[in-house]
């Protein structure tokens, strides 16, 4: 099946804030449940199968959500846009990296990132809306 947009979340929900992209994917599925041309994908804990996942997706645009503890302030987003010239269907790939506080073992987000969760969700939601327009 072909989609206008695919959103892939990478993360490990066993390691506190490393799971934020997976939690975001679950919320976004609910928010955009009436949009039939979006696919939300749990890309796994470490993204080692990301290349194969990207090869199997038929989408005009792809957003990848990932996390980083260094270089990006916790709760902030960093963006990398790639516009492939040789792809048959993919027109744009957007990598969104979310700054995190903690990647220690634990199944809940840190309090600090949990406080920023809905702000991050709104930013990602706006990105999705922009990509669909």
pLDDT at res. 63: 98
pTM value is: 0.93
Q: What pLDDT score was predicted for residue 26?
A: 97
Domain boundaries, the chain: 2-132
Which of 48, 41, 46 minimizes the C-alpha distance to 25?
Answer: 41
Q: Please report the pLDDT score of residue 86 as a whole number.
A: 83
Instruction: With a cut of 70, list the residues of the chain below it in pLDDT.
Output: none
Burial of 35 (0-12, 13-18, 19+ CB in 10 A): middle
pLDDT of residue 101: 96
Which residues are paired to 98 by β-bridges? 67, 77
Whether 5 contacts 37, CB under 8 Å = yes
What is the layout of strands, in order, in the sheet containing 38-42?
38-42, 2-9, 58-68, 92-99, 77-82
Amino acid 112: pLDDT: 94
Q: Among the CATH numbers 3.40.630.10, 3.40.50.2300, 3.40.228.10, 3.40.50.1450, which is that of 2-132?
A: 3.40.50.1450
């Amino acid at each position: 099946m072909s989609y206008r947009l695919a959103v892939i979340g990478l993360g490990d929900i066993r390691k506190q804030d490393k799971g934020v992209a997976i939690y975001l994917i679950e919320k976004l599925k609910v928010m955009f449940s009436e949009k039939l041309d979006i696919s939300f994908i749990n890309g796994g804990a470490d993204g080692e199968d990301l290349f194969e996942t990207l090869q199997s997706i038929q989408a005009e645009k792809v957003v990848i959500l990932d996390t980083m503890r260094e270089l990006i302030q916790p709760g902030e987003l960093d963006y990398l846009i790639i516009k492939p010239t040789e792809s048959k269907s993919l027109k744009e790939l957007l990598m969104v990296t979310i700054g995190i506080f903690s990647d220690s073992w634990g199944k809940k987000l840190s309090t600090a990132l949990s406080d920023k969760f809905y702000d991050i969700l709104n930013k990602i939601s706006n990105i999705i809306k922009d990509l669909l327009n």
